[in-house]
A and B are shown apart, each in its own frame.
Chain A
Amino acid sequence: MKEKKMKLNKFANLLVFGLVLVVAASGCRKKPVNVTELPGARPGKITDQGPGGTLPPSQPMTTEPGPVGGQGGIVSNPANAHEGWPEDATILKPDTVYFDFDSSVIKTSEKPKVQAVADYLKNNPANAVRVEGNCDERGTEEYNRALGERRALAVREQLAGLGIDPTRVDTISYGKDKPVDPGHDEAAWKQNRRDDFVVLSPPK
């Protein structure tokens, strides 16, 4: 409790830059008994405001491969596996996979699309693909972010089952942040519950 209080105090100090209590002696109305000084301080200034707070050079971004074969799932590619690879979102656009509400199960109707993506990757052995999971607006934000990722992972698993090396498949979830249709009805929602495919080709 005491510790908590101290931390709170510390925080308050940072925010207010010292709330100075000036006790005046007189009790008359013009000179009140207790005067609380409030310097017009702002909360800790953001110094790195520039063009989007770049990462300080002293903090190189590293990735960890994680334990191999984490129980049951396929280990994801390092974050920078295909960094700088040119992207093409049009090649596999016809193969966008759609999902049922609140589901990451690949429907029978969508399986030929995953097959088409697998075929493309087989015919273009140097290329990789990023599977982007998306949701409709109906779930809560972070629930949807996890759901979108499960949709991407489900397709990656299926691609692996079709013989594609999963190190050629990146996944990302945008939750409900990237709807293709901004509407608020089922017609819009069913367009938004999807996995998009972005082709990544090795830099020349």
Chain B
Amino acid sequence: MKQTQSILRQFSFLACLLAATRVMAQPELNVYHTVELPGQAKPILVSMSGLTGEAATTLQFDLYVQGFAFTNTEAAQYLISGSNNGNLEARVTDPHNKSTLVSKAYSGGPLRRQVHAFADDFVQALGRKGIAQTKIAFKGENSPTSEIYIADFDGHNAQAVTSDHSLVAAPCWVPGHLALYYVSYKLNHADIFYHDLATGARRAFARYGGSNMSPAASPGGREVAMILSKDGWTDLYVCEANGSDLKRLTKSPQDESSPCWSPDGQWICFAAKEREHRTLCKISPSGGPMHTIATGGTPSPTEPDWSPDGKWIAFTAQYRSGFQICVVPAEGGTAIGLVEGEDPSWAPNSRTLAYARRRGGHYTLSLLDVPTKQVKDVSRISGISSQSQPSWAK
């Protein structure tokens, strides 16, 4: 109820804002500015002319996964035009108030990079955060081994970070740093490694007895939450990035898994079991009681990820029929099921999610624009049978 009210409040606020800013626009255009409730927003319609081949497909991908859809010039709210003979030149105009939002030419770098930069320029001109030049990390599996990879957010330009011919799991970017934590079985033991991507150096970060699992770096990168079994149960622990000051936050023979952080660093959210029911919980990194995050009875929530704007928690729900990507307001409430999939990771724009989708026994990575539910698969690495556990660089 409270949540509905808050959504309504949000809606009326946006409606006022809309009325204030779009007084001169024709009323039917307002449909493009509806409130962005997960799964219910309409895409912003754009048209494109002059771009061809890879430039056109790259731009379509970039914008589609950020809530845009392509149409003809008459129906479009923004017109994109340009050319890509050699370098990219492109502009965006708003035909209704006859303004130019972006007009630029790009040089240097491959064409894809130029298009990504233009996509960011456009999205930023609308007051949003662009994601077209961001990176993702993920696990690439070729049974019986797996390696950690990083790639552009659309899956292009993938490179292997490890080549251990062992098993790896759960890559996690350190926010604001060119570095990853991940689990590696290289030393015949489940250990957490820290890998500096700028220098290539890495070190065993957590190598306690038992299994060391599911690392999650805090927003500033100064602390790391993880699941350890060193004390005989699988519990949630946190320590400093230099490995010191290890604290045990839960003490229960029940399962805890998949920690993530709130963007203000005040909470660690994780999947837990309380009174025989699986729930999402949060706990302060300095300890204290566990708080349940209500998900409206969604079955077996796991793999939470807190949006960078602090408003939503995305997670995986396990139905009889399969797995669903869901989002719930961070304070708890009614969860909204979006698409079939697992292990969501938010983009820096707090609206696009990377997630893993099962196809037979393998995973592929997809991107989901949460407000519009628009989905695209990311490019796959040839020769890698399964790609999963995405972590979006923030």
Residues on A facing B (Cβ under 8 Å): 4, 7-8, 10-12, 14-16, 19, 22, 29, 32-53, 55-56, 59, 61-67, 70-79, 81, 83, 137, 139-143, 145-150, 152-153, 157, 170-175, 177-178, 182, 184
| B229/A149 in contact, CB under 8 A | yes
Which residues of B have CB within 8 Å of A55? 202-204
Shortest Cβ gap from A8 to chain B (Å) = 7
On whether A72 and B257 interact (CB within 8 A), knowing A46-B159, A53-B202, A146-B227, the answer reads: no
| B209/A37 in contact, CB under 8 A | no
Which residues of A have CB within 8 Å of B372? none
Q: Select B201's contact among A48, A61, A139, A147, beta carbons within 8 Å.
A: A48
- Does B108 reach chain A (CB closer than 8 Å)? yes
In the complex, which residues 195-238 of chain B have their Cβ closer than 8 Å to any Cβ of chain A?
Answer: 195, 197-204, 207-211, 213-214, 219, 227, 229-234
| B113/A38 in contact, CB under 8 A | yes
On whether A171 and B257 interact (CB within 8 A), knowing A43-B135, A51-B163, A150-B234, the answer reads: no
Interface residues of chain B: helix, strand, loop or mixed (majority): loop
| B230/A66 in contact, CB under 8 A | yes
Per-position 1/0 for B253-264, Cβ under 8 A of A? 101111000000
In this complex, how many residues of chain B approach chain A with their Cβ under 8 Å: the count is: 91
| A32/B105 in contact, CB under 8 A | yes
| A15/B133 in contact, CB under 8 A | yes
| A47/B199 in contact, CB under 8 A | yes
On whether A35 and B257 interact (CB within 8 A), knowing A61-B204, A70-B230, A149-B229, the answer reads: no
Shortest Cβ gap from A193 to chain B (Å) = 15
Q: Once bound together, how far apart are the Cα atoms of A22 and B104, in whole Å?
A: 10
Report the stretch among B37-45, B68-76, B169-177, B328-336 that lies at the interface: B169-177
Report the stretch among B21-29, B182-190, B286-294 that lies at the interface: B182-190
Shortest Cβ gap from A44 to chain B (Å) = 4
Could you list 22 A-B pairs, sorted by A, with CB under 8 Å? Answer: A11-B176, A29-B89, A34-B104, A36-B106, A36-B107, A41-B109, A43-B178, A45-B200, A47-B200, A51-B163, A55-B202, A55-B204, A61-B207, A64-B246, A70-B251, A72-B232, A79-B208, A79-B209, A140-B323, A147-B255, A172-B190, A177-B169
On whether A8 and B163 interact (CB within 8 A), knowing A45-B200, A70-B230, the answer reads: no
Which residues of B have CB within 8 Å of A141? 169-170, 342-343, 388-389
Shortest Cβ distance from A10 into B: residue = B176
| B107/A35 in contact, CB under 8 A | yes
Summed over the interface, the residue pairs from A and B with CB atoms below 8 Å come to a total of: 258
| A35/B106 in contact, CB under 8 A | yes
Q: Once bound together, how far apart are the Cα atoms of A3 and B256, in whole Å?
A: 32
Which residues of A have CB within 8 Å of B342? 140-141
Most buried by B among A67, A141, A170, A173: A141
Shortest Cβ gap from B293 to chain A (Å) = 16
- Does B191 reach chain A (CB closer than 8 Å)? yes
Shortest Cβ gap from B107 to chain A (Å) = 6
Residues on B facing A (Cβ under 8 Å): 89, 103-110, 113-114, 117, 121, 133, 135, 141, 143-144, 146, 150, 157, 159-167, 169-170, 175-178, 183, 185-191, 195, 197-204, 207-211, 213-214, 219, 227, 229-234, 246, 248, 251, 253, 255-258, 271, 302-303, 316, 318, 323, 342-343, 348, 360-361, 388-389, 393-394
Which residues of A have CB within 8 Å of B160? 49
| A38/B117 in contact, CB under 8 A | yes
Shortest Cβ distance from A14 into B: residue = B178
Interface residues of chain A: helix, strand, loop or mixed (majority): loop
Which residues of A have CB within 8 Å of B271? 143
Which residues of B have CB within 8 Å of A70? 230-233, 248, 251
Which residues of A have CB within 8 Å of B207? 61-63, 79
| A63/B107 in contact, CB under 8 A | no
Q: Once bound together, how far apart are the Cα atoms of A96 and B230, in whole Å?
A: 23
Q: Once bound together, how far apart are the Cα atoms of A137 and B303, in whole Å?
A: 16
Which residues of B have CB within 8 Å of A76? 208-210, 229-232
On whether A53 and B163 interact (CB within 8 A), knowing A43-B178, A64-B208, A184-B360, the answer reads: yes
Q: Once bound together, how far apart are the Cα atoms of A77 and B207, in whole Å?
A: 11
| B170/A153 in contact, CB under 8 A | no
Which residues of B have CB within 8 Å of A39? 108-109
Q: Once bound together, how far apart are the Cα atoms of A21 and B108, in whole Å?
A: 11
Q: Select A142's contact among B191, B232, B258, beta carbons within 8 Å.
A: B258
Q: Once bound together, how far apart are the Cα atoms of A149 and B226, in whole Å?
A: 14
| B150/A43 in contact, CB under 8 A | yes
| B213/A142 in contact, CB under 8 A | yes
Q: Once bound together, how far apart are the Cα atoms of A78 and B188, in whole Å?
A: 13
| A73/B103 in contact, CB under 8 A | no
Q: Once bound together, how far apart are the Cα atoms of A152 and B211, in whole Å?
A: 10
Which residues of A have CB within 8 Å of B253? 72-73, 150
Shortest Cβ distance from A144 into B: residue = B257
Shortest Cβ gap from B302 to chain A (Å) = 5
Q: Select A145's contact among B89, B141, B162, B257, beta carbons within 8 Å.
A: B257
| A34/B103 in contact, CB under 8 A | yes
On whether A67 and B113 interact (CB within 8 A), knowing A16-B133, A32-B89, A46-B200, the answer reads: no
